[in-house]
Structure 1
Amino acid sequence: MGAHEGEDTEFYLKKGFCVVAVEAMPEFCESISNRFPEYVHSGTLSVVNLAVSNSPETKVSAQVRGGR
């Protein structure tokens, strides 16, 4: 769960939607911002480096399968 490398982000941007991409891994956030700079600069895309939990005390670790 999360924006990962922006595959769905790209789909919705191309459809004309404003997108808030939420991703726990900072390197993926940077990758998305670098991949879509025109959308970031226009305000159409906001990239948020954040992990979501149902409890404020929960520690969250981000893990990606597939060698990354």
Structure 2
Amino acid sequence: MTRRRSASLARTRGIRSSRVFDPKILSVTVRLLGGHGAYDVVATVRGGGRCELAEPFSAAFRLAGLLA
């Protein structure tokens, strides 16, 4: 499934947020569903950076820790 198709399905099902992990470049992109019906990128973390999320629940992690 493509990212575009996945985002379309998520939007129609009312999923408010998504995260795209890329282990090749060690990054995560966080998107939230905006009022205009499209996902807005609200954060991108690369490398050993810490990612802190508030929606849909509070979470904090380091990307390197997810792959260890």
**Fold shared, TM-score > 0.5 on shorter chain:** no
TM-score by length of 1: 0.31
Higher RCO, 1 or 2 (CA under 8 Å, sep at least 6)? 1
Higher strand share: 2
